[in-house]
Structure 1
Amino acid sequence: MKLFKAKKIWMPLIAASLVLSLTACGGNSAKPGAEAPDTDEPVTITFSFDQGIGQPAQTLIDEYNASQEKYIVESKILPQDANVVHDDFVNKLASGDTSVDVMALDVVYVAEFASAGWLTDLTQYFDQATQDLYLPGTIETATYNEKLVAFPWFTNASALFYRKDVLEQLGVEPPTTYQGWMDLQSQVQGVNDVQYTSVFQAALSEALVCNWVEYVANNGGEILDADGNPVVNSENNIEATQIMLDLVKNYAPEGVTTYNEPESEQVFLDGKALFIRDWSGFWSQANKEGSKVKDKVGVTSLPVGPKGTESHSTLGGLNLVINNAIDDAHKEAAVDFIKYLSSESVQKKMNLIAAQPPVLKSVYQDAEVLEANPFYADFYDIIMNGKARPMSPQYARVSDSIQRNIHAALAENIDIKTALDTIQSDIEALNK
């Protein structure tokens, strides 16, 4: 059994103890293949999402309900906790519960849910010409075993935010390589209060995974080869991890291995770092009142390593999925609702009211969107090259191995090769 390879067919085992603990809930009890009921009454579906996007999502739901009379969407809001949301969805879908029709699912869990047979195949509803209108990386996150089992709703990608006032004062252009940024260390010390060249997220967390896979990709490395076999301990990946360790030891604040987004952002907002690797939403935070770097921030692609040829950022975001256990009438309603959420006007509105990066390419050229997000002129090329994290039905276990071993290497508790060998072994064990 291979991991990460979208073209492979997975037959995951659900632990008996989990299955026995699940209890089917009420709701739309018809199973796939059931005929749509003959009724003129509107079909009601339930959309489940987390509180973090609660108000913007509810606004869109209300407008959809007001726009037509064929379908009604009700909301089920979960806490803003990725683990709680994941477990709630797993418990429902594994038990055949049909009380929820559409779910906003973190991109890293699509493979897990699809391999279990819980998600409706959407390929027939979105042809290739339609898919080509969307950012390619987001379609990748929605595809499993060559089937479109989800549809992108909104996305996110990281970028390199830097002190353009400092570079202008030095008379240099933003470097395109890690070494180029490191070479500025001696020149930037003390310029406009800068103390550190670099700051990023290296705490023992999912943020570390997002950061590390970028170093790998940007040095020409891979987590898997073309056949889906793990190649974690390759020379390219060892070199990429060494670059990350060098930044930790010599170019970043001493506590960077305890930093998630808030801690790293504060260093940059206080004017102490030349650049920060962060998600796109940091742009507005850096330029709001009270920020010491307001109007002094530029944005560019992440650097590449010695063996890299192009820059890739990690993609985040949420995809829309349909419960495969609901009947045909509810699937039809769910597809219509997803088409609404992924339409150009709604994609634009979601960006303007919630600052969520759209998945539809055309929205990045919209004048009103560019006025609200002027850095999108540069960010578009960055997000076009965004890549998904490894697509695995057992992503949580893979992520755990990466977090533990890469963090140990950055803390210099183990050497880099040992860390990568251990991750390699862990993934190979999952393949058996």
Structure 2
Amino acid sequence: MADIARRRSGRANIGRGSPLPGGRRGSPWLRGAAALGLLAGTLTGCGSSGGPPTLTWYINPDNGGQAKLASECTQASGGKYKIKTSILPNGATDQREQLVRRLAAKDSGLDLMSLDPVFVAEAANAGFLRQFTDAEAAQLTSGVFPAAVESAKWNGKLYAAPFWANTQLLWYRKSAAQKAGVDPTAANFTWDQMIDGAVKSGTTVAMTGNKYEGYMVWINALVASAGGTVLTDPQKGADAKVTLDNPAGQQAARIIRKLATSKAASPTLSTDIEDQARNEFNASNGGFMVNWPYIYAADLGDAESGVIPKSVPADIGWAKYPQVVAGQPSKPPFGGIELGIGAFTKHDAEAVAAAQCITSEPHMKEYMLSEGNPGARPAIFDDADVVKKFPMAALIRDSINSAEPRPITPYYPDVSGGIQSKWHPPASVNPSTTPRVTDEFVPKVLRDQRLL
């Protein structure tokens, strides 16, 4: 979901149309903020008169896990600071918009923020995040998944503290797999086998096909699993090259079309997001689903409260993300949350200390156990408590290790939005034309020659 920290260098140029990679002037954050008329004034955060400073941590919605960590780290500080939380909207795009409003206005009250990894480079490039020092970075990245570290950096510097890392697994109903005559745990299990098996067994393949970031996650993972990349030379900013019109992009398009036009597709595929896909999977004709690990704990909770039959969780199996090309290892999606520090905070030292506390290994474990979101340190997955609650812990760890992050670029929202606009709805995707049209369209969006 959310991303992290931003450096102060170059802050004087913010809002002045300073050149950015690729010769483009201004960043998506600044252009969006300017459109909202937000660069004229400055917001002031809630300060504290006397006593320890109060840090405001903007969090993505959860079931109270981040608020609990805020309370625990407040206590652990020994009176050096207090942390209060402020909840962001549900969607990653809406979260970004709210942060844009505040950061563009140089809000000094935005001390900490939970960020989707794909927004780190954008926020860092705009000067909105405090850069961690080398010493701070060493502590925050020691023993952390490489993909989580990579996604928290921009231009080789750390702008976010990895908090939790995430990936997607293939979830299947054991009864459906048996009826279909397929083994999702087989070494070379493919998307084609899964779709064909679902059709044969009269079950569904639940996916996130709505026009939102979850759909981009699917597209990127398919392209990566086929040996391709959505974007080459992302460091070139607006001059980066979209590379979908090739065998990898065409394979991704073929699979999306195959599912969307098959009897295995949900009738609401084009509007389904994660929890709708989970509901589809839990239905009487549910068969297969690719989704994040949180769904396992969510299903256990729903079964306990009577929302779904207890027989549903007992029927759930799990396997690695399906292959696009048989024999070619898949590249599962990478997601999670990075913890950033606002560039305009008045409490640098306290915010860094709080980030170190929140992202410590014990707190990552605690958050994983309470919220179902995997920690960013591999060591957690060997913990007896974690293995007991997540019997697929080793698979999650190995999937994160082989996961492929989405493009790391300051212009990620434009890249993602441009691709989604040409690949949605899923049933309209054509492997012969969609990748080519996308390669032609997105560069024009990046150069302000076309609108999304």
TM-score range (shorter-chain normalised) is 0.7 to 0.9
Give the letter aligned to residue 411 of structure 1. Answer: A
| Structure-2 residue corresponding to 1:4 | none
Distance 1:44 1:426, change over 3 A: farther
> How many Å separate the matches in 2 of 1:20 and 1:276?
42
Distance 1:358 1:20, change over 3 A: closer
| Structure-2 residue corresponding to 1:396 | 413
> How many Å separate the matches in 2 of 1:130 and 1:26?
28
Give the letter aligned to residue 399 of structure 1. Answer: S
| TM-score between the two structures when normalised by the length of structure 1 | 0.84
SS of residue paired to 1:52: coil
> How many Å separate the matches in 2 of 1:90 and 1:153?
21
> How many Å separate the matches in 2 of 1:20 and 1:365?
47
> How many Å separate the matches in 2 of 1:231 and 1:305?
17
After superposition, give the CA deviation of every residue in 1:182-241 in whole Å (9 maximum; x if it has no partner).
Answer: 45357x52xxxxx22522121222221111111111111111235753212222211221
| Pair 1:245-2:263 in alignment | no
After superposition, give the CA deviation of every residue in 1:265-320 in whole Å (9 maximum; x if it has no partner).
Answer: 22221231321111111112344422452211111111112277222222222211
* Contact kept in structure 2, 1:45 and 1:101, CA below 8 Å: no
Distance 1:92 1:399, change over 3 A: same
> How many Å separate the matches in 2 of 1:210 and 1:135?
19
Match of 2:166 among 156, 160, 169: 156
> How many Å separate the matches in 2 of 1:211 and 1:374?
25
Give the letter aligned to residue 423 of structure 1. Answer: T
* Contact kept in structure 1, 2:293 and 2:372, CA below 8 Å: no
| Structure-1 residue corresponding to 2:190 | 177
| Pair 1:215-2:232 in alignment | no
| TM-score between the two structures when normalised by the length of structure 2 | 0.81
SS of residue paired to 2:339: strand
Give the letter aligned to residue 148 of structure 2. Answer: T
Q: Which runs of 5+ in 1 are unaligned?
A: 1-7, 30-40, 190-194
| Structure-2 residue corresponding to 1:23 | 41
| Pair 1:352-2:369 in alignment | yes
| Structure-1 residue corresponding to 2:87 | 78
SS of residue paired to 1:337: helix
* Contact kept in structure 2, 1:220 and 1:307, CA below 8 Å: no
> How many Å separate the matches in 2 of 1:286 and 1:104?
25
Cα RMSD (Å)? 2.8
| Pair 1:108-2:118 in alignment | yes
SS of residue paired to 1:240: helix
| Structure-1 residue corresponding to 2:393 | 376
| Structure-1 residue corresponding to 2:357 | 340
Match of 1:279 among 292, 304, 311: 292
Q: Which runs of 5+ in 2 are unaligned?
A: 1-18, 235-239, 448-452
| Structure-2 residue corresponding to 1:32 | none
> How many Å separate the matches in 2 of 1:166 and 1:85?
37
> What does 1:22-421 correspond to in 2, within 5 Å?
22-27=40-45, 43-50=52-59, 52-53=61-62, 55-82=64-91, 83-127=93-137, 131-167=141-177, 173-174=183-184, 175=186, 176-185=189-198, 188-189=200-201, 195-225=202-232, 228-250=240-262, 251-287=264-300, 288-289=302-303, 290-291=308-309, 292-306=311-325, 309-327=328-346, 330-408=347-425, 410-412=426-428, 415-421=430-436
> How many Å separate the matches in 1 of 2:272 and 2:68?
34
After superposition, give the CA deviation of every residue in 1:31-64 in whole Å (9 maximum; x if it has no partner).
Answer: xxxxxxxxxx864142322461362222111111
* Contact kept in structure 1, 2:174 and 2:317, CA below 8 Å: yes
> How many Å separate the matches in 2 of 1:263 and 1:58?
26
The number of aligned residues is 404
* Contact kept in structure 1, 2:381 and 2:387, CA below 8 Å: yes
What is the Cα deviation at residue 70 of structure 1?
Answer: 4.9
> How many Å separate the matches in 1 of 2:342 and 2:213?
27
